[in-house]
Structure 1
Amino acid sequence: MNTNKYIYKYVNKEDGMRILFDNTLKFSSPNDFNDPFDCYDELLKYDITKEFIEEQIKIGILKFENDEDKLPLHEQKKLLSNLYNSDNETIRNSLSFLRNDLKISCFSELYNQILMWSHYADKHSGFCIGFDLDLLSSSIDFILSKVNYSHDFEKINYCLSPNKALEYMISNKSIHWEYEKEIRLRTNIRKTNFKDSENGIVEINKDCIKEIYIGSKSHISNEEAYLLETKYSNFNTIIKKMELDKNSFKLNDMNWINN
């Protein structure tokens, strides 16, 4: 099976059951993430360009008074130097608006990462669910970002390309999070038809789900096992149970239900 096309979401049992039986996926605001440097303001700088000024005027964010629009570019930049900088409330409000508009769902490239099971799957008692990216894209209009990890960062010019700057903010994190091997899907309330927009809930096709891994400490009742087997037996979905290796610090995936 080609797992390169799959992305994996670690969840507690309750959220996992909701995904598996309600066929929904949750997208969250970056403001709710656990990393204080996530979508960090200071990743950006504001070196004003002529094109940026023209675009801000065009979309109605910026308005010159009197004949200020006729001034040479260097004079316009001087006028705007206090408006467009990282300490200015206008810019911060603008970035806050962008973050509030953003909805992100976080995944991993891996399904057997011990720390991910510990941190995001309720100490190995939840699930890790594998989604087919191609099929998922038929359910949701999203942009995929692979997260980059580094010790330090260079600031990118917001004024040169706001969209590129937004992508940079979303996809760069500290090296401390490298173990996550994170993949992000992002959308917004204007692009996606949310079932529950307040909580970021989106409906998905159940055939998007191709792999279900049950945590080593997860308890699945006979009724839950029957429901899982019944629902996913016709969708070429594998269901496995994670077990601790007896000779090394790793997790093994063992057949739980034979499809």
Structure 2
Amino acid sequence: MNHNQSGNSILYKYLDINGAKMMLYYSDLQFTNATKFNDPFDCHPSLIDFSKVPLERCKGWTPDIIELLESDRYRRYRERAWVCCLSKVFDSLLMWSYYNSHKGVCIGLNMEKVAKHLNVSHGMVVANSGYEVQYRDIIEKPDYFQDEIDFYHYQMCTKGKDWKHEQEVRMFILDPSPSSMKLLPNQDDKNGPIDWKEVRAFPEIGGECFESIYLGVNMDKNEAEKIIKTAKTFNPDIKIYQMEINSNAFRLDAKRKK
């Protein structure tokens, strides 16, 4: 196993109500283009140091041109990559707050079963096993011409330390197949051509992949019943939990629903 590859058999996806309904109804995973995340450093070529060009690499070109050519390759990698973001934890106060104000859902996924549904039919390169995000300072960026690391995975799975609470694990698809691409409900071409990088990839997975569902502390009861009904349609054995406030600590507890 790659040293950055996650060994977690269950990973979690935080969603608002609408996102959870869509994911459960269509039994799929959402992959977002790597240029469209809220962190401008995410998957950015500037995470790697291309500036120390050895003279033997120039071959008649200036070091500046070699630096530009190599960094541009990783800029294009970023534009071609679609990423699915998951977490190792289901009870993060910050994650529940950021994604759905404790009114949404966290879905537990059996990653061994998920991996069986993701294959080369979904894109040119498909990472169907999760890779743990590494949280670093940007001053630690590696030397492209000297360090011996997997620079593509480094680019896809490196974030600033401010995001460490997410405990993120990622899967990614390079050049998703057209059959996996779907417009979001609010996307249309009435105002001109749609930016292809705004389109999400939604490869389908089986209902057996949905291992558990966690309902937010502030979730509407009627919405909760709809979510449970939809989930049990795909997997009658899915585990349902209600998140509750722990009165003795700043912590969320998960209570199994019968």
Distance 1:174 1:124, change over 3 A: same
| Residue 78 of structure 2 is aligned to residue 99 of structure 1 | yes
SS in 2 for 1:213: strand
Q: Deviations over 1:61-100 (max 9, x none)?
A: xxxxxxxxxxxx7384452412122xx3x45543332111
Report the Cα distance in structure 2 between the residues aligned to 1:175 and 1:226, rounded to whole angstroms: 35
Deviation at 1:200, TM superposition (A): 1.4
- Determine which of 13, 17, 30 is the counterpart of 2:17: 13
| Residue 107 of structure 2 is aligned to residue 125 of structure 1 | no
Distance 1:162 1:189, change over 3 A: farther
Report the Cα distance in structure 1 between the residues aligned to 2:92 and 2:240, rounded to whole angstroms: 17
Report the Cα distance in structure 1 between the residues aligned to 2:115 and 2:253, rounded to whole angstroms: 30
Distance 1:151 1:100, change over 3 A: closer
Report the Cα distance in structure 2 between the residues aligned to 1:149 and 1:195, rounded to whole angstroms: 30
Cα RMSD for the two superposed structures: 2.8
Deviation at 1:205, TM superposition (A): 1.0
- Determine which of 145, 151, 160 is the counterpart of 1:174: 160
Partner of 1:74: 56
Deviation at 1:4, TM superposition (A): 3.8
| Residue 39 of structure 2 is aligned to residue 35 of structure 1 | yes
SS in 1 for 2:250: coil
Distance 1:140 1:4, change over 3 A: same
| Residue 113 of structure 2 is aligned to residue 135 of structure 1 | yes
Q: Percent identity?
A: 24
- Determine which of 183, 189, 193 is the counterpart of 2:175: 189
Please tell me the residue identity of whatever aligns with 1:96.
R
| Residue 133 of structure 2 is aligned to residue 147 of structure 1 | yes
TM-score w.r.t. structure 2 length?
A: 0.77
Q: Is the 8 A contact 1:157 1:165 kept in 2?
A: no
SS in 2 for 1:26: coil
5+ long unaligned stretches in structure 1? 50-72
Deviation at 1:128, TM superposition (A): 0.4
Distance 1:81 1:130, change over 3 A: same
| Residue 82 of structure 2 is aligned to residue 116 of structure 1 | no
Q: Is the 8 A contact 1:196 1:202 kept in 2?
A: no
Deviation at 1:159, TM superposition (A): 4.9
Of 93-102 and 124-133, deviating more is: 93-102
Q: Deviations over 1:95-148 (max 9, x none)?
A: 33211110101010000111000012x101111001011100011134232011
Please tell me the residue identity of whatever aligns with 1:147.
V
Distance 1:253 1:78, change over 3 A: same
Please tell me the residue identity of whatever aligns with 1:32.
K
Q: Is the 8 A contact 1:39 1:170 kept in 2?
A: yes
TM-score w.r.t. structure 1 length?
A: 0.77
Deviation at 1:224, TM superposition (A): 1.0
- Determine which of 226, 229, 242 is the counterpart of 1:227: 229
Q: Is the 8 A contact 2:176 2:201 kept in 1?
A: no
5+ long unaligned stretches in structure 2? 1-6, 120-125, 184-198
How many residues end up aligned between the 2 structures?
227
Q: Is the 8 A contact 1:128 1:213 kept in 2?
A: yes
Between Structure 1 and Structure 2, whose CA radius of gyration is higher?
1
